[in-house]
Structure 1
Amino acid sequence: MNASRRLVATLLGAPILVGLALTPPPAQAQFTVFDPSNYAQNVLTAARTLQTVNNQISSLQNQAQMLIGQAKSLAGLPYSSLAALRGQVERTRQLLGQAQALAYDVDQIQQAFRSNYQAVDLSAGEAQLTARADARWTAAVAGFEDALKVQAGVVGGLGASRGELESLVGASQGAVGGLQAAQAGNQLLALQAQQLSDLIALNAAQGRAQALEAADRAAARADAKARFVKFMGSADQP
């Protein structure tokens, strides 16, 4: 009887044990482990990477700015006075080329002096002496006229030269690079050279006129001496 009770009790308690055995254990809580040293290292790496990127951006900006500066330095001057200066020089040259009577030619001047300005032969007649005097007078008057024309041309070009000077100075002050400043300076030097050439041409024309007048006076004295000698010679004859 005791054995039967123990068996019954065993059978009754078996489901409970089986149920306990089949019941899954409660889920275990999962926790993330935080590593401060690893986090600090990651932050430092990210900061260094960002700094590297910023340095590269700054370098590219500096290079771009340098290229822009080089482009400005190599930019040509937008203003050119060459045509105006060349035109003034050409006008002065044309005025000199219109020289009357005696041109600016060495061979022609030598020939004219041999025929009209050197000492006359005592055997020359009055008609020859008169023709010589007329030729010299014509050359002297033409020389003064030519000098006046050159003067008028030079003075007439002063207005244009002043305008070019103001334009070049303005372009020089507004130059954005070394090349533009150098080109403006070169054009200013060209303007000075043009003005100097005008002064040389003016001095040449004035000197030519004065030389012709002086030569005319000297030749006139020689002609007068020849006339006087012929007159005295004819007066001594019986």
Structure 2
Amino acid sequence: MKTPIFHCAAALLVTGCGIAAAAVSVPAAAQVGGIVHDPRNYAQNILTAARTLEQINNQIKQLQNQATSLANEARNLSGLPVSTLEELQGQVDRTRALLGEAQRVAFDVGDIQKAFDARYKGGALTGTQAEMVANAEARWSDSVGAFQDAMKVQAGVVGNMGDARRSITTLVTASQSAAGALQAAQAGNQLLALQSQQLGDLAAAIAAQGRAQMLDAARAAAAEAEGRERFRRFLKGN
């Protein structure tokens, strides 16, 4: 049986241990030099400051990303600093002017019909001797003029090739150094316009050459019909 003295000793031991433990733990607050210092409040303040700093850094990153996005949009919206439109229009105008200088038989349906009615068929092949000679000379002039026109158009097309080469160099250089999508698209559009102009020159050259060949073929056919008429009159003694 334990004695009361033993119980008292045990109680004192427990009490002493509690006091020692309390002495080892960090105090909730301490007063140093008249200033109260709370370690738990200080740690909380540091944690709050760290979180605030992290939020500020995230906002800075978002602003940087937005600035980069706006800069990219600005580059994509900036126009191409060079344009070959005026040169292309000049080339087209020169080719059209050459076609407009067609001699005797123009590139016009009404003019063609009048020329054929007057010199290539019907009464033009069965008129008087003097009329037949005059119409034959007119047809010869038509053919010579048409071949001359075709050669002039072809020379103009060849001259435009030099300008086209310079335009291609300018546009390809601009396309390769394009800062944004709009500049690249505009360079591509101008290259397509240049291609269309070259196709137009090719069509003009083909049209002029075809006109010359058709007029010469019509002259040959008219000469053959006129020859038959002359032979018929010879047989009749006219």
TM-score tier after normalising by the smaller chain length: 0.7 to 0.9
Distance 1:175 1:122 in 2: 65
Residue of structure 2 equivalent to 1:101: 104
Residue 95 of structure 1 deviates from its aligned partner by 0.3
Maintained 8 Å contact 2:105/2:142: yes
Aligned CA distance change for structure 1 residues 30 and 57 (closer, same or farther; 3 Å): closer
Range that drifts further, 154-163 or 121-130: 121-130
Residue of structure 2 equivalent to 1:132: 135
The correspondence for 1:71, drawn from 49, 62, 74, is: 74
Residue of structure 1 equivalent to 2:196: 193
The correspondence for 2:147, drawn from 144, 147, 151, is: 144
Residue of structure 1 equivalent to 2:7: none
Residue 121 of structure 1 deviates from its aligned partner by 6.8
Residue of structure 1 equivalent to 2:61: 58
Distance 2:234 2:179 in 1: 81
Matched, 1:153 2:156: yes
Secondary structure at 1:157 match in 2: helix
Is there any run of 5+ residues in structure 2 with no aligned partner, and where? Answer: 1-31
Distance 2:130 2:59 in 1: 99
Give the AA of the match of 2:215: L
Aligned CA distance change for structure 1 residues 122 and 70 (closer, same or farther; 3 Å): closer
Residue 153 of structure 1 deviates from its aligned partner by 0.4
Aligned CA distance change for structure 1 residues 50 and 233 (closer, same or farther; 3 Å): same
Residue 33 of structure 1 deviates from its aligned partner by 4.4
Give the AA of the match of 2:147: F
Distance 1:105 1:206 in 2: 16
The correspondence for 1:165, drawn from 142, 165, 168, is: 168
Distance 1:121 1:60 in 2: 87
Identity %: 57
* 1:49-81 Cα shifts (integer Å, max 9, x gaps): 111111111111111111111100000000100
Residue of structure 2 equivalent to 1:210: 213
Maintained 8 Å contact 2:118/2:124: no
Maintained 8 Å contact 2:147/2:212: yes
Secondary structure at 1:77 match in 2: coil
Give the AA of the match of 2:166: G
The correspondence for 1:228, drawn from 201, 226, 231, is: 231
Distance 1:32 1:105 in 2: 107
Distance 1:63 1:149 in 2: 59
CA root-mean-square deviation = 1.6
Residue of structure 2 equivalent to 1:118: 121
Distance 2:134 2:63 in 1: 87
If the length of structure 2 is used for normalisation, what is the TM-score? 0.83
If the length of structure 1 is used for normalisation, what is the TM-score? 0.83
Distance 2:189 2:156 in 1: 25
Aligned CA distance change for structure 1 residues 151 and 122 (closer, same or farther; 3 Å): closer
Maintained 8 Å contact 1:119/1:219: no
